[in-house]
Structure 1
Amino acid sequence: MNIEVNSSNLKFLECFSSDTRIKIIELLNIRPMNIKDLAEALGISSAIVTKHIQKLEEASIITTESVPSTRGRQKICHLTLDSATLQFRVKEQADQNRYAVSIPIGQYSSYEVKPTCGLSSDIKIIGMVDDPRYFSDPEHVKACHLWFGSGYIEYRIPNYLVGKQRIRSISISLEICSEAPHYNENWPSDLSFYLNDVCLGTWTCPGDFGAVKGVYTPAWWDLGTQHGLLKQITIDAEGSYIDGIRMSAKSVEDLAVGLNEDIRFRICAPETATHSGGLSMFGKQFGNYDQDIQVYVAY
Structure 2
Amino acid sequence: MRTLQLTLGEAIEICKALSNEHRMTILDILTRGPMNVNDLSELMELPFSTAATNIKKLEEAGLISTELVPGRGMQKVSSKKYDRIVINLRKEEQIDDNIITIDMPIGEFADCEVEPTCGLVSDSSFLGMMDEPRSFYEPERKEAQLIWFRSGYIEYRFPNRIPYGGKEDRLEIMAELCSEAPYHKLDWPSDITVWVNGIEIGTWTSPSDFGGERGFLTPKWWLTENTQYGLLKTWTINRHGSFIDGVKQSEVTLNELSIQAKPYISIKFGVKKNAVNAGGINLFGHRFGNYEQGIMMKLHYSHKE
- TM-score over 0.5 (shorter chain): yes
CA contact (8 A) 2:8 2:89 kept: no
1 or 2, which has the higher strand percentage? 2
Matched, 1:160 2:161: yes
User: In structure 1, the residue corresponding to 2:227 is in which secondary structure?
Assistant: coil
Instruction: Output the CA distance in 1 between the equivalents of 2:135 and 2:124.
Output: 17
**Aligned residue in 1 for 2:238:** 236
- 1:1-299 → structure 2 map (5 Å cutoff): 9-11=8-10, 46=21, 86=90, 95-222=96-223, 224-299=226-301
2:280 partner amino acid: G
Contact 2:179-2:282 within 8 A present in 1 as well: yes
CA-CA distance at 1:176 after TM superposition: 0.3
Q: Could you give the per-residue CA deviations for residues 13-61 of structure 1, whole angstroms, max 9, x where no partner exists?
A: x79xx9xxxxxxxxxxxxxxxx9xxxxxxxx97469x59xx9xxxxxxx
**Structure 2: gaps spanning 5 or more residues:** 1-5, 33-42, 45-83
Query: How far apart, CA to CA, are the structure 1 residues paired with 2:132 and 2:230?
Result: 23
* Cα distance in 1 for residues equivalent to 2:251 and 2:85: 31
Instruction: Provide closer, same or farther for how the CA distance between residues 213 and 132 of structure 1 changes in structure 2, counting only shifts above 3 A.
Output: same
Q: Which runs of 4+ in 1 moved over 4 A?
A: 84-88
Letter in 2 for 1:159: N
1:279 to 1:156, Cα distance in 2 relative to 1, 3 A: same
Alignment partner, residue 62 of structure 1? none
For the 8 Å contact 1:110–1:153, the answer to whether it is kept is yes
CA RMSD of superposed structures (Å): 3.5
Q: Is the 8 A contact 2:100 2:162 kept in 1?
A: no
Q: Quick one: structure 1 residues 119 and 220, their matched pair in 2 at CA, closer, same or farther if it must change by over 3 Å?
A: same
Shift of 1:8: 5.9
Other structure's SS at 1:167 match: strand
How far, CA to CA, are the matches of 2:130 and 2:247 in structure 1?
A: 35
Q: What is the TM-score normalised by the length of structure 2? A: 0.70
Which structure has the greater CA radius of gyration?
Answer: 2
Letter in structure 2 aligned against 1:136: Y
TM-score of the superposed pair, with normalisation by structure 1: 0.72
Give, as a single letter, the amino acid of the residue that structure 2 aligns with 1:194. W
Residues 1:202 and 1:80: Cα distance change in structure 2 (over 3 Å):
farther
Which stretches in structure 1 are left out of the alignment for 5+ residues? 1-6, 19-34, 36-43, 55-64, 74-78
- CA drift at 1:66: 5.7
Separation in 2 of the partners of 1:85 and 1:155? Answer: 30
Q: How many percent of aligned residue pairs carry the same amino acid?
A: 36
Do the aligned partners of 1:160 and 1:260 also contact (CA within 8 Å) in 2? no
Aligned residues: 245
How far 1:153 sits from its partner (Å)? Answer: 0.5
* Amino acid aligned to 2:126: I
Secondary structure of the residue that 1:168 maps to in structure 2?
strand
